[in-house]
Amino acid sequence: MRQFLALGGLLVLTGFAVAGPTGLLSWSENSNLLEQRHAQIAQLTHERDELRNLVDGLDPEAADPDLVGELLRRNLNVVHPDEVVITLEDE
């Protein structure tokens, strides 16, 4: 009787090792998920670096004039007196 219980326990442990949440069958799924997370981290790192450059360009002590002009034109619709604004219709 003890042998059957030990064999049953061993089979259950083997089943979990193969088909459990951290078993061999879920290994490729976990690997794919890890690759997706690495790609997401790379994208977020790139976005963070772009935002950091934007913030550095808007430093009140030494603001980048080109960046300030671009943001003024885009956000406040401000233009120089000698500029002409051409609007394009969406197709």
pTM check: above 0.85: no
Angle at alpha carbon of residue 44, lines to 41 and 48, rounded to 5° = 135
When pLDDT is averaged across residues 19-30 and rounded to a whole number, the result is 76
Give the model confidence (pLDDT) of 29-63 as tens digits: 888 999 999 999 999 999 999 999 888 888 888 88
Report the helix count and the strand count for the chain, using DSSP H and E.
3, 0
